[in-house]
Amino acid sequence: MNDTEIRALLADVLAGIAPEADLATVGDDEDLRAALDLDSMDFMNLVIGLHQRTGIDIPEADVPKLFTLRGLTGYLAR
Amino acid sequence: MTAAPLRMTYREACRQAIRDALLADPRSFVMGEDVGKYGGCYAVTKGLLEEFGPERILDTPLAELGITGAGIGAALAGLRPIVEIMTCNFSLLALDQILNNAATIPHMSGGQFAVPLVIRMATGGGRQLAAQHSHSLEGWYAHIPGLKVLAPGTVEDARHMLAAALADPNPVLIFEHIVLYNAEGDLDPAVTAVDIEHARIRRPGRDVSIITYGNSLPKSLAAAEALAAEGIPAEVLDLRVLRPLDMPAILESVRRTRRAVLVDEGWRSGSLSAEIAARLADEAFFDLDAPVRRVCSAEVPVPYAAHLEEAALPQVADIVAAARELVKPR
Amino acid sequence: MSDAVADFLMPSLGADMESAKVVEWLVKPGSRVKPGDVVAVVETHKGAIDVEIFLDGVIEDLAPLNQQLPVGALLAHVRGTGGGGTQAPAKAAAAPVQPAPVPSPPPPTAPLSGARGRVSPAARRRAEEAGIAADSLHGTGPDGAVTLADVELALSAGPKPAPAEPARAGRSGFDPAQMRQAIAAAMGRSKREIPHYYLGTTVDFHAAQTWLDGYNASRPPPERLLPAVLLLKATARALVQVPQLNGFHGKDGFSPGPGIHIGWAISLRGGGLVAPALHDVDRQELPALMTSLRDLVQRARTGGLRSSELTDPTITVTSLGERGADSVLGVIYPPQVAIVGFGRIVERPWVVAGNVAPRPLVTLSLAADHRASDGHLGGRLLAAIDEALQDPANL
């Protein structure tokens, strides 16, 4: 997946969790959880959604890598 | 063996219909302003005076109330009068006779008196005849119980509706559109009569019903052609009979296409199209996929200037736009 | 089996609820009902709630729709119930107030209260026949209206459209102003009437975190646990030992709750708060509890909470989550008698066996009703929670 595809996927998954979230307002290195007001349940649902849509396992130890847009796109692009 | 189609103008079809009626029934006669020596203001009765003589082609004074009253009396006495009123604008002078007598006597006499009267009127705009000769008042007459109101939109209906109207024991008003007189069409020689009860689908289509009559029919057919080029299959339903409305046909069409555009050269407010729209809201609400749209004349006296007159009357582009908006909104 | 007739009454869905109206019956006269069935949707000033029945028999004499009826008003008769009697507002006296029993924020495509989605009449009828929510579909008609073709397309292909159930027409949307008013009323009453006492203690979350990390490491995301389930389960375990804090305060003093039904405080996106019940938390395995928790949060945020979830909590637990503050001193939800709070889990220096070591710590707090208990008992509860969290494998 390229960067654009990953962002589109992220937006899609987010729509089911935080409908009002607007990725365009989030900086690349900003903490998504703070920027989009996601609590731990929300973020877990986000990880589950990304896992289900991409098939990527995302081990628990890797979850912190997904806290920023840059980290998330880099992780899923591998 | 089938005969070749016969091509003629709407005017000629009207003339042949009258001639046929005069030949078929010695009780029938024509009266009106300038119908004899002049041959009719729109030349529909040209040559009939010479053929049938002044007892059956009567030139009358300019007195619509008197002509119509005399026609009603003749009909009550057993004749089959064909009254011509030059334009429906002038028919307002005869409105008392039409409403209070023609439409009412059969009812008030408990059915003892029939009024088998036919009144032909020219209607509509588009020939720069200005605001006293261009209006479409058939919708007003379609309001009146006791009348039948016909609006031939094809050469075939112009040719054959008169006979059916004369056979009807009720007063029948026929509205001939002035723009249609010069229109040409083919007549199928196999068709020798038409009904005056049913609307007809002039062009079948799947996605929107364009419901219309009179001179708006050819415009609607042209619009349907343009819509087809855009990939929108439009159905064109010709009402033909404005009173009583053929509601089963209207509902059948709209229930199938789920969308309706009503094209009516009358003014929008309180028009026939308003009545049909109300009935669709009433009886087809749950079948609709879009609001009912209307294309009507601008609410002004019909202007004289050609470009203003064109702007005031429903045009093909208006119909296309209305239908397109319902089917393929941007 | 007697042929007794029981009354089904307007339940109290919170101490501040005086009346409500039935906006939809989900059963017909003559329908067979059994305990736990959702039979009606009532609209309170806080929103629309699915109301369950706890009678067994044939329901009849349904109250008319859209009439404002007081708590305790007759909603229906149920014939053929075992012992006859009356349901609700049995819980009213002891019913915990919920600040925010609402089916809140609407799904993304659904309009806010007042504005109905544009759906053509033909499309609406077809969608109803097919049992899907036409409002949730993409509309291609005039002004973006959903047309019959859009419904047919949705039915024939593509992703399954939302079932009509959760977006039931007629549900009132979430009104932040009204919810704020409800929270104000309940919290105002709590602070006026309840003599709170507060206790706090710091808990070493190391054992729990280590266990949790090990548990999650080998599992795919959908099967992982959040720290919240450990906090909930530990609290439930502790309440088994200290049942005096699990229940309600009424005219006759304290009455213990029928089970450990923990009201889990959920903050709603866009503002507001709701604390619906997780039932019998002490008896749920952690994975099942996690599933229940996710489901509850989801329903709290998209609508579809049940009346029992609003009336059943016997205590409230609030957890501030990973981005919250370090500690919280809660406000008790009347007529409950206690609220347990967990602050953010933070890494801090901690003395372990005489040495300072970095440890994940969580500040545990209790606000309790002094009419029902004293600080000593409250301290025992906190100690029991701490103890339970030190042995996570047995939770």
Task: Please choose, from the candidates C311, C198, C197, the residue with its C-alpha nearest in 3D space to the C-alpha of residue C259.
Answer: C311
- From the candidates B64, B156, B235, B265, which is the catalytic residue? B64
- In degrees rounded to 5, what are phi and psi of residue C68? -70, 120
Structural contact between residues B319 and B261, judged by C-beta atoms closer than 8 angstroms: yes
Residue C284 per-residue DSSP state: S
For residue C111, is pLDDT > 80?
A: no
Domain C176-394: assigned CATH number: 3.30.559.10
Task: Give the C-alpha separation, C183 to C46, whole Å.
Answer: 10
CA angle centred on C344, ends C340 and C348, rounded to 5°: 120
Q: Tell if the CB–CB gap between C221 and A39 is shorter than 8 Å.
A: no
- In degrees rounded to 5, what are phi and psi of residue B246? -85, 75
Task: Give the C-alpha separation, B304 to B301, whole Å.
Answer: 9
- At residue C65, the pLDDT reads 87
- At residue B108, the pLDDT reads 95
What the block records as the tokens of A6 is 């990953």
Is residue B288 less than 8 Å (CB to CB) from chain C? yes
Residues 6+ apart with CB under 8 A from B166: B21, B25, B28, B80, B82, B116, B118, B172
- At residue C268, the pLDDT reads 80
What residue spans define the domains of chain B? 6-187, 200-327
B33 is catalytic: no
Instruction: List pLDDT tens digits, range C203-256.
Output: 999 999 999 999 999 899 999 999 999 999 999 999 999 999 999 998 888 999
What the block records as the tokens of C188 is 């105002």
> Quick check: helix, strand or coil at residue B241?
strand
Q: Tell if the CB–CB gap between B289 and C125 is shorter than 8 Å.
A: no
> Under CATH, what is the fold of the domain B200-327?
Rossmann fold (3.40.50)
- In degrees rounded to 5, what are phi and psi of residue C372? -100, -25
Nearest by CB to A48, which of C221, C227, C228? C221
Structural contact between residues B131 and B92, judged by C-beta atoms closer than 8 angstroms: no
How many CA atoms, within 13 angstroms, populate the side-chain half-sphere of residue C299? Answer: 23
B197 is catalytic: no
Task: Give the C-alpha separation, B46 to C371, whole Å.
Answer: 110
Q: Tell if the CB–CB gap between C294 and A59 is shorter than 8 Å.
A: no
What the block records as the tokens of A37 is 């007001």
Q: Tell if the CB–CB gap between C125 and B288 is shorter than 8 Å.
A: no
Residue C40 corresponds to which amino acid?
A
Structural contact between residues C336 and C263, judged by C-beta atoms closer than 8 angstroms: yes
- Burial status of residue C278 (CB atoms within 10 A of its CB: 0-12, 13-18, 19 or more): buried
Count how many residues are written for chain C.
395
Instruction: List pLDDT tens digits, range C213-225.
Output: 999 998 999 999 9
Is residue C159 less than 8 Å (CB to CB) from chain A? no
For residue C108, is pLDDT > 60?
A: no
Task: Give the C-alpha separation, C219 to C213, whole Å.
Answer: 10
Q: How confident is the model at residue C136 (pLDDT cuts 50, 70, 90)?
A: confident
Instruction: List pLDDT tens digits, range C351-383.
Output: 999 999 999 999 999 999 999 999 999 999 999
| Mean pLDDT value of segment C43-49 | 70
Residues in chain B where the model's pLDDT stays below 50: 1
Helix (H) or strand (E) holding C311: helix C307-311
Helix (H) or strand (E) holding B226: helix B216-229
Instruction: List pLDDT tens digits, range A33-70.
Output: 888 888 888 899 999 999 988 888 899 889 999 999 99
Task: Give the C-alpha separation, B84 to C83, whole Å.
Answer: 87
Instruction: List pLDDT tens digits, range B133-162.
Output: 999 999 999 999 999 999 999 999 999 999
Instruction: List pLDDT tens digits, range C5-19.
Output: 888 888 887 766 777
For residue C37, is pLDDT > 90?
A: no
> Under CATH, what is the fold of the domain B6-187?
Rossmann fold (3.40.50)
Q: How confident is the model at residue C180 (pLDDT cuts 50, 70, 90)?
A: confident
What residue spans define the domains of chain C? 4-87, 108-165, 176-394
The class level of CATH for A3-77 reads mainly alpha
What the block records as the tokens of C146 is 């959903």
pTM for the model:
0.51
For residue C1, is pLDDT > 80?
A: no
* Best A12, A52, A60, A65 residue to mutate vs chain C (most C CBs within 10 Å): A60
Residues 6+ apart with CB under 8 A from C93: C250, C251, C335
Instruction: List pLDDT tens digits, range B223-280.
Output: 999 999 999 999 999 999 999 999 999 999 999 999 999 999 999 999 999 999 999 9
Q: How confident is the model at residue C42 (pLDDT cuts 50, 70, 90)?
A: confident
What the block records as the tokens of B39 is 């041959």
Task: Quote the mean pLDDT of chain C.
Answer: 82
Residue of chain C whose Cα is closest to the Cα of A60: C217
Is residue C153 less than 8 Å (CB to CB) from chain B? no
What the block records as the tokens of C244 is 């005096």
Domain C4-87: assigned CATH number: 2.40.50.100
Task: Give the C-alpha separation, C147 to C150, whole Å.
Answer: 5
Instruction: List pLDDT tens digits, range A4-36.
Output: 888 889 988 888 888 888 888 888 899 998 888
Structural contact between residues B287 and B254, judged by C-beta atoms closer than 8 angstroms: yes
Structural contact between residues A23 and A8, judged by C-beta atoms closer than 8 angstroms: no
| Mean pLDDT value of segment C23-45 | 85
Cis omega (within 30 of 0) for bond into C276:
no
DSSP-assigned letters across all residues of A35-72: HTT--HHHHHHHHHHHHHHH-----GGGGGGGSBHHHH
Q: Tell if the CB–CB gap between C121 and B290 is shorter than 8 Å.
A: no
- From the candidates B133, B135, B160, B177, which is the catalytic residue? B133
Whether B6-187 and B200-327 share one fold: the answer is yes
Cis omega (within 30 of 0) for bond into C335:
yes
- At residue B330, the pLDDT reads 62
Task: Give the C-alpha separation, B191 to B13, whole Å.
Answer: 13
> Quick check: helix, strand or coil at residue B253?
helix
Contact between chain B and chain C (3 or more Cβ pairs less than 8 Å apart): yes
CA angle centred on B317, ends B311 and B319, rounded to 5°: 100
For residue C69, is pLDDT > 90?
A: no
Q: Tell if the CB–CB gap between B329 and C141 is shorter than 8 Å.
A: yes
